[in-house]
Amino acid sequence: MNRLPLVVAIAGGVLGTSAVLAAEPGHSFSAKRQFASQVVSCMRKRMASDKYISYNQAAKICKDEVTKQLEGADAGPLVAADSKP
């Protein structure tokens, strides 16, 4: 009976570690979380304005929109301006 909390803690640690190792390299969790929150926000707005759109249609449209926005934002590196005002 005393070993149960220990087993649960070890199992949780193993599962947590495997999730971190399975993450794609180069993509941070914060970027994925930001992408997901933008998609959810877009879906809420779209589904509130159009009562006849399905969840799957809204998800597809919003994923495409957010992906295009993020690709446009990563168009080039940020460089300080050399010109003086």
Q: Distance from CA of residue 82 to its chain's centroid?
A: 35
Q: Which residues, including other chains, have CB under 8 Å from residue 70's CB and lie 6 or more apart?
A: 35
> Which DSSP string corresponds to 38-72?
HHHHHHHHHHHH-TT--HHHHHHHHHHHHHHHHHH
Max distance between CA atoms of the chain, in angstroms, equals 73
Q: What is the pLDDT of residues 16-37, one digit of tens each?
A: 655 554 555 556 788 889 899 9
pTM here is 0.53
Which residue from 46, 82, 85 is spatially nearest to 66, judged by alpha carbons? 46
Domain extents in the chain: 28-72
> How do residues 38-73 score in pLDDT, each as one tens digit?
999 999 999 999 889 898 999 999 999 999 988 876
